[in-house]
Amino acid sequence: VRNLFEMGIKKVLIADKVSGECADFLQKNDIHVDFVPDICRADLIKVIPNYECLVVRSRITVDDEIIKAGKKLKMICRAGTGIDNIDKKACEDRGICVT
């Protein structure tokens, strides 16, 4: 969470089912949060250009296509353990932090 503040992130998309406490905490710290836990891949690709941070669990595979579409992305957060569903190389190439 500290990285969110350090990176100046102001707009987050939570694209998977996570605790409501996560969104509440971010909103209390002046971060705009859109919580769309059932977003489909096509819609995610359409809206991700508007966000600086994407929060996922294991339902979504964050591949190069999604990462390229996220022109403003600074960070991708994996709620839970492991980051096998995130293309780490594509993130590294674009300077996107993965946590």
| Residue 52 falls inside a structural domain | yes
> How far is the C-alpha of 48 from the C-alpha of 46, rounded, in Å?
6
42-64 residue pLDDT tens: 999 999 999 999 999 999 999 99
| Residue 86 falls inside a structural domain | no
For 83, list phi and psi in degrees, rounded to 5: -130, 30
This prediction has a pTM of 0.92
Mean pLDDT of residues grouped by 10 in the chain (99 residues)? 80 90 86 94 98 95 98 94 94 95
| Residue 90 falls inside a structural domain | no
* Contacts of 50 by beta carbon, 8 Å cutoff, 6+ apart: 11, 13, 72
| Residue 63 falls inside a structural domain | yes
String of DSSP letters for 77-95: EESSS--TTB-HHHHHHTT
Q: Which domain holds residue 14?
A: 2-80
Q: Residue 21: give its domain's CATH number.
A: 3.40.50.720
| Residue 85 falls inside a structural domain | no
- DSSP designation for 50: G
Q: How many domains, in total, are found in the chain?
A: 1
| Residue 98 falls inside a structural domain | no
| Residue 97 falls inside a structural domain | no
Both tokens of 16, joined, read: 């998977």
Residue 62, pLDDT score: 98
